[in-house]
Structure 1
């Protein structure tokens, strides 16, 4: 029985055959596509199924592990996403049953996992989190994803709404913060963190913005690292790709606070969630 790992976001899907052996993961037949999830349920399910079928190729005996953002009834595969615009037509429907029917599979061959959990589980199994028994997983991008791992248990931490400074964590740790801070403090218009690496932006400005972000990340992480006795942090998402420019500041802050830990950038990228999504089908202890 082959495993197909799937990572579904608000506008994108990726899928691949996943082989797990000896805490090493390999991938084959990687597929991805942009999907308009503002449409009706039939068009969304059809688009997702098409990508999964391409990943499966000629195989007819396979199971599908799906990493999906919340809110979701993951056990039953029912969407609880209501007020985000995206996927609204699937609200309170069994995506599990709809996809299984479209794929011609029994619903027992599909499993759903929170995307933040899937990321940290995947990196813990075969990536940047291998050496940590207790860890915090953070994905930095348009939004803030988070998960915690304590020994074998990995859970979505839902820290994006955690109170932080004069707002919530996501106000300071995402693309929107970079855009707002660059414009308000320096009069620079950017679309995200990656623009700060362009020669069009003054390097002095970029350094100051990244240092400010790095400090905020350290302040945010510190209490959770202490509380969980975390041995390290696993960092993913698009903003992690610029980690070299802000993580020294984050590390310096944690050292000043007396709790320096390694912050490892994801080595698996989006493939981490594909691994984590498949692991519910693997019986052995994986973390």
Structure 2
């Protein structure tokens, strides 16, 4: 079993994961404010890891969103709406100094890459030699995989392997497909009374918009259809050029798969790809991080 950490926009999870069997045993989860200070964010991460009580001298695998210098373990977040206060901090050094029992090292990988690696080993991407993974939440993460190896360049791979760098109508993809984009579009289309409620009710999330769509609210359904049809249209040429046989979708918004899938499929058109929701949930990133750690050693 290998100790791993997974950082998200709302939480951090520490666990022991076995990449050989794709199992996760001991697990600790803490809420996390991605807009908080570096002291808050890293303090929460260190405490979560310490609560796991992993054996001393282990190498930890850490799945974290970008932008991030994964080789050096240095945060490069800037202008992405999360973890901005961490810019330039040597996260590896913080973890090695702060976690107790003390680790031997920490290796980092992109959280979307970790998710697809986990799904390829034991989930929705199993038995697919060439596949693509998308994570939908605070932003849009992506991974392009061939035979268990993540590809950062090549035919069908967007710049740096990041679909979020692709533009739609001259604007970043995440202005059309992300938590903030969906909520902003939903708020603009409601009446003024609801707009005021949205300003006050910061707890409103994409799941609430999805619930309203299922209840028959036309505007909510239109907002979701527009976002995910756009995503499908953006992905389609990359999937074809990459010769992917499966597209796996994870992240918080994948919980609304019954609404997301038809719109995404419509946007993909006749692209010959199997469309699947992630099967392992949060375990995917944990297993993927453990697998990456094993390969790195």
Q: 1:228 to 1:80 in 2, by over 3 A?
A: same
Q: 1:226 to 1:70 in 2, by over 3 A?
A: same
Structure 2 unaligned blocks of 5 or more: 153-159, 199-203
Quote the residue 2:236 is aligned against: 222
Q: How many residue pairs align between the two structures? A: 277
The alignment's C-alpha RMSD in Å is 2.7
- Larger deviation, residues 150-159 vs 266-275: 150-159
Quote the residue 1:211 is aligned against: 225
Q: Tell me the CA shift for residue 186 of structure 1.
A: 5.1
For normalisation by structure 2, the TM-score amounts to: 0.81
Whole-angstrom distance in 2 between the partners of 1:44 and 1:143: 18
Q: Tell me the CA shift for residue 13 of structure 1.
A: 0.8
Which of 153, 162, 165 in structure 1 is aligned with 2:166?
A: 162
Which of 238, 242, 251 in structure 1 is aligned with 2:265?
A: 251
Structure 1 unaligned blocks of 5 or more: none
Whole-angstrom distance in 1 between the partners of 2:227 and 2:118: 26
Q: Secondary structure at the match of 2:272?
A: coil
Q: 1:176 to 1:130 in 2, by over 3 A?
A: same
The correspondence of residues 98-109 of structure 1 with structure 2, limited to 5 A, is 98-104=94-100, 108-109=104-105
Q: Secondary structure at the match of 1:117?
A: helix
Quote the residue 1:178 is aligned against: 182
Q: 1:199 to 1:221 in 2, by over 3 A?
A: closer
Whole-angstrom distance in 2 between the partners of 1:36 and 1:11: 6
For normalisation by structure 1, the TM-score amounts to: 0.84
The correspondence of residues 1-287 of structure 1 with structure 2, limited to 5 A, is 2-21=1-20, 24-36=21-33, 38-41=36-39, 43-56=40-53, 59-84=55-80, 86-104=82-100, 108-154=104-150, 155=152, 157-185=161-189, 187=191, 191-198=204-211, 203-205=216-218, 206-254=220-268, 257-283=269-295
Q: Secondary structure at the match of 1:215?
A: helix
Q: Tell me the CA shift for residue 76 of structure 1.
A: 1.8
> Per-residue displacement from partner, 1:174-207 (whole Å, max 9, x unpaired)?
2233223334445465633312343698515144
Q: Tell me the CA shift for residue 84 of structure 1.
A: 4.9
Q: Is the 8 A contact 1:72 1:79 kept in 2?
A: yes
Q: Is the 8 A contact 2:28 2:52 kept in 1?
A: yes
Whole-angstrom distance in 2 between the partners of 1:46 and 1:166: 38
Whole-angstrom distance in 2 between the partners of 1:119 and 1:260: 22
